[in-house]
Amino acid sequence: MRELQRILGKKTMEAEILKEAVEIARSRKWIAHSPLLPGTTSESSH
The parent domain of residue 17 ranges over 2-34
Is residue 42 domain-resident?
Answer: no
* Mean pLDDT across the chain: 78
pLDDT score at 44: 52
Using CA atoms, how far apart are residues 3 and 25, in angstroms rounded to an integer?
33
Select from 7, 29, 26 the least CA-distant residue to 18. Answer: 26
Is residue 18 domain-resident?
Answer: yes
Is residue 39 domain-resident?
Answer: no
Q: For the segment 8-19, what is each residue's pLDDT rounded down to a tens digit? A: 999 999 999 999
Is residue 6 domain-resident?
Answer: yes
Q: For the segment 1-46, what is each residue's pLDDT rounded down to a tens digit? A: 899 999 999 999 999 999 999 888 888 766 555 566 565 545 554 5
Is residue 44 domain-resident?
Answer: no
Is residue 29 domain-resident?
Answer: yes
Name the domain count of the chain. 1
Share above pLDDT 90 across residues of the chain, in percent, rounded to a whole number: 41
31 touches 25 (CB < 8 A):
yes
